[in-house]
């Protein structure tokens, strides 16, 4: 099939909203296709503070929903997140450094608490190596996250033990690109060889250093290097949605064929708060909550980049409060590889076959189908369970699932 921007946009929107195949029809307006294709080719939006594409997709959703309720008497869509969680948070940490000399510690002494500072200067506390501490605290909340190790900045032998231990516990370890890996396949191959030699496996996930990204080259280079997902596309100097999206997607190739690679767009980076925007801890925390609330409103994903070397410092320690907040709000919290895995298994097609709705393949365990019914309609579900009553139901499909509404 010939790919073009329109069919690319249609497949992205259909997958993102979890629609029955083909249901989008002409609800996909050309101006949304144009907007989406221009950001995918690198156009810089005026306002990254709002997930503008996500918001437009939600209005497409309400149009498709209304039309289906009127025409078919029901509307079914796959919930975005496991167990129909209201929104999702992807926790990620770049590992630019794991140590600094005592002179650096002394120069930046005002950032640390007294005990850490003394311990750091005496060499008994490793102030900038917090991989185990972070994973331990995340684990206490039942969370997993991603750590991206750089292959040229420090000997990977120094982090091998921590990497092995956290991977055993279900954490995701990926590559933090070096300068040049975003646009040079040679540089990328060198970094991958160093990474594999040092840590003993090939990484599935990637984040480029300084969020270096070339819209004409990087995604294909990442695809060719065999990555499962990337989470680089974001902004350094502002918070928000470089692409207007708060959900994963398959980036387009040069001819608009979707790549196999998944992009998990970055929303918020700690160094933007303290470095570029000069926020106080209180202000930085409220900025984070503002993005949590945007995610809640759009069933969206908040991808958080929190540098591991910063969590003992003023500013960086806000991370512990954020973990508590995510726990309280009951969202889906996951590492990059977990988010990518979920997005892939959730993408199994939901199709209409005469009066029946079916899934092509075995549904993942935590998939929920949201079902809305017009007045007087009742669903019959074969192989699956239905929760709720009235016009709004949650269906948990099992192998061999079929839905019919009469
Ligand atoms: Zn970096």
DSSP code string of 16-58 = HHTPPTTTTGGGS-HHHHHHHHHHHTTPPPS--SS-HHHHHHH
Q: What is the pLDDT of residues 242-283, one digit of tens each?
A: 999 999 999 999 999 999 999 999 999 999 999 899 999 999
What pLDDT score was predicted for residue 54?
A: 96
Q: Does the pLDDT of residue 205 top 70, yes or no?
A: yes
Domain final residue pick, 343, 366, 397: 343
Q: Compute, in degrees rounded to 10, the torsion defined by CA atoms 84, 85, 87, 90.
A: -110
Find the distance separating the first CA and the last CA of the chain, reported in whole Å: 36
Q: Are 69 and 207 within one domain?
A: no
Closest by alpha carbon to 131, among 173, 191, 90? Answer: 173
CATH code, 134: 3.20.20.370
Output the average pLDDT for the chain: 95
Q: Are 51 and 195 within one domain?
A: no
Residues in the chain: 406
Q: Does the pLDDT of residue 200 top 80, yes or no?
A: yes
Measured in Å, residue 97 CA sits from the centre of ligand 1 at 9
Rounded Cα–Cα distance for residues 3 and 254 (Å): 10
Rounded Cα–Cα distance for residues 158 and 177 (Å): 18
Q: Are 337 and 258 within one domain?
A: yes
Q: What is the pLDDT of residues 80-126, one digit of tens each?
A: 999 999 999 999 999 998 888 878 877 888 888 888 878 777 888 88
Measured in Å, residue 8 CA sits from the centre of ligand 1 at 31
Residue 136 phi/psi, 5° resolution? -65, -45
Measured in Å, residue 226 CA sits from the centre of ligand 1 at 21
Q: Are 43 and 90 within one domain?
A: no
Q: Are 36 and 92 within one domain?
A: no
Closest by alpha carbon to 27, among 62, 52, 71? Answer: 62
Domain final residue pick, 324, 343, 362: 343
Measured in Å, residue 355 CA sits from the centre of ligand 1 at 52
Is residue 319 classed as helix, strand or coil in its secondary structure? helix
Rounded Cα–Cα distance for residues 195 and 32 (Å): 40
Measured in Å, residue 95 CA sits from the centre of ligand 1 at 7
Q: Are 94 and 50 within one domain?
A: no
What pLDDT score was predicted for residue 3?
A: 72
Beta strands in 167-271 (DSSP E): 172-176, 205-207, 229-230, 262-263, 268-269
Q: What is the pLDDT of residues 7-52, one digit of tens each?
A: 999 999 999 999 999 999 889 999 999 999 999 999 999 899 999 9
Rounded Cα–Cα distance for residues 358 and 352 (Å): 6
Measured in Å, residue 202 CA sits from the centre of ligand 1 at 19
For the chain, the domain total comes to 2
Q: Are 245 and 185 within one domain?
A: yes
Closest by alpha carbon to 223, among 195, 196, 190, 188? Answer: 188
Q: Are 216 and 353 within one domain?
A: no
What pLDDT score was predicted for residue 2?
A: 52
Domain final residue pick, 297, 312, 343: 343
Measured in Å, residue 151 CA sits from the centre of ligand 1 at 11
Range of the domain at 393: 5-78+348-405
Measured in Å, residue 116 CA sits from the centre of ligand 1 at 24
Measured in Å, residue 150 CA sits from the centre of ligand 1 at 8
Q: Are 331 and 389 within one domain?
A: no
DSSP code string of 263-275 = E----EEHHIIII
What pLDDT score was predicted for residue 1?
A: 46
Q: Are 288 and 188 within one domain?
A: yes
Q: Are 13 and 123 within one domain?
A: no
Q: Are 204 and 110 within one domain?
A: yes
Measured in Å, residue 99 CA sits from the centre of ligand 1 at 14
């Amino acid at each position: 099939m010939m790919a073009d921007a329109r069919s690319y946009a249609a497949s992205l929107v259909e997958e993102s909203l979890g629609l029955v195949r083909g249901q989008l029809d002409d609800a996909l307006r050309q101006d949304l296709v144009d907007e989406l294709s221009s950001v995918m080719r690198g156009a810089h939006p005026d306002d990254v503070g709002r997930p503008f594409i996500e918001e437009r997709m939600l209005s497409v959703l309400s149009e498709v929903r209304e039309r289906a309720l009127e025409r078919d008497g029901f509307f079914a869509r796959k919930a975005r997140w496991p167990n129909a969680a209201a929104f999702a948070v992807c926790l990620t940490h770049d590992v630019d450094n794991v140590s600094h000399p005592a002179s650096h510690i002394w120069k930046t002494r005002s950032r640390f608490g007294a005990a850490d500072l003394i311990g750091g200067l005496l060499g008994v506390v490793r102030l900038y190596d917090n991989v185990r501490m972070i994973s331990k605290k995340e684990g206490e909340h039942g969370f997993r996250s991603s750590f991206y190790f750089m292959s040229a900045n420090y000997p990977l032998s120094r982090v091998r033990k921590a990497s092995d231990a956290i991977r055993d516990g279900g954490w995701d370890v990926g590559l933090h690109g070096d300068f040049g890996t975003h646009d040079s396949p040679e540089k990328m191959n060198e970094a991958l060889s160093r990474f594999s030699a040092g840590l003993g496996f090939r990484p599935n996930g990637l984040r480029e250093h300084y969020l270096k990204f070339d819209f004409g080259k990087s995604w294909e280079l990442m695809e060719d290097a065999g990555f499962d997902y990337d989470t680089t596309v974001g902004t350094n100097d502002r918070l928000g949605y470089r692409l207007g999206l708060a959900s994963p997607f398959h980036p387009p190739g040069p001819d608009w064929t979707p790549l196999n690679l998944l992009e998990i767009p970055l929303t918020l980076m700690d160094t933007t708060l303290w470095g570029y925007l000069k926020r106080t801890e209180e202000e930085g925390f409220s900025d984070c909550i503002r993005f949590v609330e945007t995610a809640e409103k759009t069933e969206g994903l908040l991808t958080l980049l929190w540098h591991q070397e910063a969590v003992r410092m003023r500013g960086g320690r806000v991370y512990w409060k954020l973990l508590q907040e995510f726990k309280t709000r009951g969202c889906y919290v996951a590492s990059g590889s977990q988010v990518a895995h979920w997005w892939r298994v959730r993408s199994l097609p939901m199709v209409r076959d005469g009066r029946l709705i079916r899934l092509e393949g075995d549904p993942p365990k935590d998939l929920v189908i949201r079902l809305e019914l017009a007045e007087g309609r009742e669903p019959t579900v074969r192989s699956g369970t239905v929760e709720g009553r009235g016009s709004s139901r949650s269906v948990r499909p099992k192998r061999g699932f079929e839905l019919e509404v009469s």
